[in-house]
Amino acid sequence: MKNYLLFALFALVSLRVGAQDAALSDEMLLIEETFSGMFDFEGPLYLNQGVSDNPPPPVPVDGGLVALLAAGGGLAYRRYRRLRHSS
């Protein structure tokens, strides 16, 4: 009697697992249909001509930037001297 009960229990559990697998496969099909072709490109991806061929030219340091850096350095030095002599 005990063996029949165990057999019936295993049969019910296996049916339940099979039903869950069927439900999961239906969900997976729905997900696959939803996301199919999501990352497919219709044509080749083009870049502007010369973008990937040559690196951009270096940016020159012009006179205005040099003057701005020199003025900032001079101002910082002047404040440093004031703080150093005042204490």
Secondary structure of 1-21 as H, E, C letters: CHHHHHHHHHHHHHHHHHHHH
Nearest-10 Cα torsion for 58, 60, 61, 65: -110
Query: pLDDT digit of tens for each residue in the chain (87 aa)?
Result: 767 777 677 776 666 655 555 556 777 888 888 888 777 767 666 666 655 666 667 777 777 888 899 999 999 999 999 988 876
Amino acid at 20: Q
Phi-psi region of 37 (alpha: psi -120 to 50; beta: other; left: phi over 0): left
